[in-house]
């Protein structure tokens, strides 16, 4: 008989499976569920989890790989990894962390699974690996994901970063029933990795049905209490002086960790303790002769829903988001973990502004205004623009959900397949509307950084219905690639946007040069046929081989090459001008 924990876990997985409108393999559901729970502290989006999910053959015994610098997830197009970029000082003193996840739907933990992983890590974590042997042994997906960590490690070698590797092995089994030989294998793997990660921290954790269920049951709360000393209010806005000790309690969850989810709407992530403003905050907190904290600091801005209760000088706030003051909050939280600092500065006050509104336009206006005084890239404020609000509203009216604010719709229980992020829509439009799938593949998180790219993708000439049509078709393609048993994970990640470009070009009768041209196709409200997906995938496989083999390119390198996009169109439309020269 299955244990209660297994029964409950299976019920949660069944619910997750039913959120998908198309069939998704059980092992994929489990792998992504495990990654979401293991990394719940990082509050990753579904697309970020999917990007780190590794499946198929030659996966090195791994099902997920994720690299973080401090609390920020690194992707392959991150500025830090560019050869043209020097690492900034804010990386100094931070921790570079690699999370490696092995997730199996079995009811036990085995020695063989750990042996395979140990053998792979010995090769994958070498800073000067034999690239040819790695390519022969492992898929491009696992190589790319681990390469993010290796490149960041090499790039930050002179920045005194701390290195950490966490390995998690998850099944539906019982951790208490793991035999001594399996645990010994785990200890040996840790010792092996420690020899590679000189001076770094290495851990290995087993997660069973109980651990997964407990993590699933630990839902983040957006209704929080904040004690204050003095306050003033006008209309729906409040200003309060809050003791630092009480503010840290407000920021801390039941496990003693920082509530990252209440910073989801902030326009940038924590910049680390080495940048000037954060050093000054730390110095103020540790200096017993420093004046009142709020004299020297701008404080924080909190947005919440319009219903605020006050009980015994304590606010009860719902739908809490800290939209300005992330650097202050993180630095105060870290500093106050030191008992001496907590005793010395706990009674000092921080200035807190609380703005209560249910109007999304007002919220966006506040976010833009409160971040104009700091050096925030314009791309970080894209979500607050009027067109983005219009897209969100139009999608919602059609029961699709545009996640302008990370994980907002997942947290309120909307189906994962119906949730669309800004980068997801941008990648699909870049492929279908601009015939540049190479950029969609190579620049998943940086497409919106340049005004020129943003304005081409999110043109006012593109109808709202067209944006939704693009998403519906991209989701159809993704679903087909996910459920098809003869498609490798490498083909799935490298060819999906080429499929988007090619299928839409077939519907248009030529390659699409401008996003506004999509309006004509979308107005007919005809979706891509699944039979056509399979047909064009076969063609793309052939063309990728034809283009890549003479050049010695892997499929990953081929997909990121601009010439390959032109080559595909020239082969598919031989009588049309595509700009490709053989």
pLDDT tens by residue, 10-21: 999 998 888 887
3-state helix, strand, coil in the chain (%, to 5): 55, 15, 35
The per-residue pLDDT for 379 is 47
For residue 380, CA distances in Å to 366, 393, 445 come to: 14, 20, 11
- Do residues 204 and 196 touch, judged by C-beta distance below 8 A? no
pLDDT of 84 strictly over 60 = yes
Q: What kind and span of H or E run contains 540?
A: helix 530-548
For residue 332, CA distances in Å to 43, 231, 286, 348 come to: 21, 21, 11, 11
- Mean pLDDT over the full length of the chain: 87
- Do residues 446 and 382 touch, judged by C-beta distance below 8 A? no
> To 10 degrees, what angle do helices 360-371 and 386-397 make?
150
- Give mean pLDDT, residues 209-215: 94
Tokens of 389: 């609000």
Backbone angles phi, psi at 63, to 5 degrees: -120, -5
Cβ neighbours for 128, distance < 8 A, ≥ 6 positions apart: none
pLDDT tens figures, 169-195: 999 999 999 999 999 999 999 999 999
pLDDT band at 446 (very low <50, low <70, confident <90, very high): confident
> To 10 degrees, what angle do helices 111-124 and 140-155 make?
50
* 276-279, Cβ contacts within 8 angstroms, sequence gap of 24 or more: 277/327, 278/327, 278/330, 278/331
* Residue of 152, 145, 97, 103 whose CA lies nearest to 124: 145
pTM, full prediction: 0.78
DSSP 465-521: HHHHHHHHHHHHHHHHHHH-TT--HHHHHHHHHHHHHHHHHHHHTS---SGGGHHHH
- Do residues 126 and 137 touch, judged by C-beta distance below 8 A? no
pLDDT of 331 strictly over 80 = yes
CA–CA distance, 375 with 276 (Å, rounded to integer): 13
CA–CA distance, 6 with 9 (Å, rounded to integer): 5
pLDDT band at 377 (very low <50, low <70, confident <90, very high): very low
* Residue of 496, 518, 511, 515 whose CA lies nearest to 567: 511
- Give mean pLDDT, residues 379-405: 85
CA–CA distance, 151 with 348 (Å, rounded to integer): 42
Cβ neighbours for 125, distance < 8 A, ≥ 6 positions apart: 146, 149, 150, 165, 193, 196, 197
pLDDT tens figures, 516-553: 899 999 998 889 998 899 999 999 999 999 999 999 99
Backbone angles phi, psi at 187, to 5 degrees: -65, -40
Q: What is the DSSP letter of 549?
A: G
The per-residue pLDDT for 580 is 47
Burial class (CB in 10 A: 0-12, 13-18, 19+), 514: middle
pLDDT tens figures, 386-396: 899 899 999 99
The per-residue pLDDT for 477 is 94
CA–CA distance, 64 with 79 (Å, rounded to integer): 22
CA–CA distance, 56 with 66 (Å, rounded to integer): 18
């Amino acid at each position: 008989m299955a244990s209660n924990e297994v029964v409950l876990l299976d019920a949660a997985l069944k619910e997750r499976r039913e959120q998908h409108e198309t069939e998704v393999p059980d092992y994929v559901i489990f792998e992504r569920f495990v990654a979401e729970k293991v990394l719940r502290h990082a509050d990753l989006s579904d697309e970020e989890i999917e990007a780190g999910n590794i499946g198929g053959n030659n996966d090195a015994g791994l099902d997920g790989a994720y690299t973080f610098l401090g609390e920020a997830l690194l992707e392959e197009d991150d500025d830090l990894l560019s050869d043209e970029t020097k690492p900034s000082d804010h990386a100094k003193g931070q921790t570079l962390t690699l999370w490696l996840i092995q997730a199996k739907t079995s009811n036990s933990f085995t020695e063989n699974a750990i042996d395979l992983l140990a053998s792979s890590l010995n090769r994958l974590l070498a800073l000067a690996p034999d690239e040819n042997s790695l390519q022969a042994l492992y898929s491009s997906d696992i190589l790319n994901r681990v390469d993010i960590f290796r490149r960041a490690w090499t790039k930050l070698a002179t920045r005194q970063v701390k290195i950490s590797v966490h390995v998690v092995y998850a099944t539906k089994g019982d951790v208490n029933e793991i035999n001594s030989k399996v645990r010994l294998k785990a200890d040996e793997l840790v010792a092996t990795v420690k020899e590679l990660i000189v001076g770094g921290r290495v851990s290995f954790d087993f997660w069973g049905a109980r651990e997964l269920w407990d993590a699933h049951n630990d839902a983040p709360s957006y209704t929080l209490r904040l004690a204050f000393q003095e306050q003033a209010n006008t209309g729906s806005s409040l200003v309060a002086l809050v003791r630092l000790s009480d503010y840290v309690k407000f920021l801390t969850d039941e496990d003693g960790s920082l509530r990252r989810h209440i910073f989801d709407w902030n326009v940038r992530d924590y910049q680390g303790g080495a940048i000037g403003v954060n050093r000054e905050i730390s110095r103020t907190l540790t200096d017993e002769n420093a004046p009142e904290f709020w004299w020297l600091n701008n404080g924080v801005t909190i947005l919440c829903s319009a219903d605020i209760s006050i009980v015994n000088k304590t606010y009860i706030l719902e739908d809490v988001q800290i939209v300005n003051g992330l650097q202050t909050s993180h630095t105060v939280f870290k500093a106050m973990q030191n008992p001496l600092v907590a005793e010395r500065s706990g009674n000092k006050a921080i200035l807190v502004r609380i703005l209560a509104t249910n109007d999304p336009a007002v919220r966006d206006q506040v976010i833009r205004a409160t971040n104009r005084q700091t050096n925030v890239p314009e791309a970080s404020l894209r979500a607050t623009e009027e067109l983005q609000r219009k897209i969100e509203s139009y999608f919602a009216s059609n029961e699709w959900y545009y996640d302008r604010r990370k994980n907002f719709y997942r947290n309120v229980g909307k189906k994962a397949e119906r949730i669309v992020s800004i980068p997801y829509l941008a990648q699909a439009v870049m492929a279908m509307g601009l015939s540049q799938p190479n950029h969609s593949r190579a620049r998943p998180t940086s497409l919106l950084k340049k005004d020129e790219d943003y304005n081409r993708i999110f043109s006012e000439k593109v109808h709202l219905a067209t944006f939704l049509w693009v998403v519906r078709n991209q989701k159809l393609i993704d679903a087909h690639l996910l459920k098809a048993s003869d498609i490798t994970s490498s083909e799935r990640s490298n060819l999906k946007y080429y499929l988007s470009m090619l299928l839409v070009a077939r519907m248009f009768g030529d390659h699409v040069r401008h996003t506004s041209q999509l309006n004509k196709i979308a107005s007919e409200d005809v979706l891509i046929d699944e039979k056509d997906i399979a047909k064009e995938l076969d063609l793309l496989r052939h063309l990728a081989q034809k283009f890549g083999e003479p050049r010695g390119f892997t499929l990953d390198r081929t997909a990121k090459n601009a010439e390959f996009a032109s080559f595909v169109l020239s082969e598919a439309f031989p009588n049309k001008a595509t700009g490709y020269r053989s």
